[in-house]
Structure 1
Amino acid sequence: MDRNEMTRHARLAAEALMADVSGARAVLVATPDGFDLAHAGALPLDASRLAAMVSSMAALGDAASREAAIGQPHCMVVDSSAGRLVMRSVQWRGEPMVVVLLADTSALLGMVLNALNGVERSMGIA
């Protein structure tokens, strides 16, 4: 794995999501073990801290999915009073990554999910 190339693709994906999703406030691309690869957007955030939290959320989603026998989780949504945090597990050349999109309440959840589903295609790895 070329970490520089992975980071470059992560940055391009973050920037593309920001441009493509109406209501997007920030995008974070992280490793499953909680390290920030890239982020974009105007929303001030501690990317390293959020990456660590998202890693824990992904582990909880995985455990809950396994317990409920519903298969491998792909996406999680936190729907809050002032916006949404939507995270999606993706692969880049066999390397797992987590893409997180923070959006305001004007963002349509279906559009956010569709954009996140297209991240692997946009990175040339689907």
Structure 2
Amino acid sequence: MSQISRNLPATLKTAIDDAVRDLHGRIPAAIGCVIATVDGRLVSHVVDNDADPQRIAAMIGSMVALGETIGREVRIDRSQYVVVNALNGTFFAQRVPSRKELFVVSTLARPSTNLGIILHETRTTAATIGRAVDAWIEQHQASQTAQA
């Protein structure tokens, strides 16, 4: 997985960077948005406060995986996202849905932000990134087939 974060094709990296900037721009009270690999490598970010995007990236994959494990353990199935609602903000994280679940997207917003807005916009961004990942996978597989 770490190879993916270091060697992203330019088109996929651009799509992820654009999606992160768009997400940050669509949530008026957004403080930050971070995309990481599921094993905690930073891929892209926009952060307006002094939060460390590297540290966030290192935690969000584990946080989402723990939420999924808890969901299964308490018999409510695999969780779709994890929310940390704190005194000074809300943090939302979920896996990017794609043929290979390689990435996690997260959004940090001020407490004045409606949770539904964070949920909707983060899910929309995750789906956008997922489509870009799937297109990259298909292209990569097609080029390998052509070379064989």
- Give the TM bin, normalised by the shorter chain: 0.7 to 0.9
Deviates more, 1:108-117 or 1:1-10: 1-10
Partner of 1:56: 62
Q: 1:74 to 1:52 in 2, by over 3 A?
A: same
Aligned-residue offset at 1:50: 1.1
Q: 1:68 to 1:53 in 2, by over 3 A?
A: same
The count of residues paired between Structure 1 and Structure 2 equals 126
TM-score when normalising by structure 2: 0.75
Out of 62, 78, 82, which is 2:88 matched to?
82
Higher relative CO (Cα under 8 Å, sequence separation at least 6) belongs to 1
Aligned pairs for 1:38-117 (under 5 A) are: 38-92=44-98, 94-117=100-123
Distance (Å, rounded) in 1 between the aligned partners of 2:111 and 2:56: 20
Q: 1:92 to 1:37 in 2, by over 3 A?
A: farther
Contact 1:6–1:92 (CA<8 Å) still a contact in 2? no
User: Which segments of 5 or more consecutive residues in structure 1 lack a partner in the other structure?
Assistant: none
Question: Matched residue of 1:3: which SS?
Answer: coil
Q: How well do the aligned residues superpose, as a CA RMSD in angstroms?
A: 2.1
User: Relative to total residues, which structure has the larger strand share, 1 or 2?
Assistant: 1
Aligned-residue offset at 1:118: 0.9
TM-score when normalising by structure 1: 0.87
Distance (Å, rounded) in 2 between the aligned partners of 1:99 and 1:52: 12
Q: Look up the equivalent residue of 1:33 and give its one-letter code.
A: D
User: Which segments of 5 or more consecutive residues in structure 2 lack a partner in the other structure?
Assistant: 133-148
Question: Matched residue of 2:96: which SS?
Answer: strand
Alignment of 1:3 onto 2:3: no
CA offsets 1:80-99 (integer angstroms, 9 cap, x no match):
00001111211356343111
Distance (Å, rounded) in 2 between the aligned partners of 1:53 and 1:121: 21
Contact 2:69–2:78 (CA<8 Å) still a contact in 1? no
% identity of equivalent residues: 29
User: Relative to total residues, which structure has the larger helix share, 1 or 2?
Assistant: 2
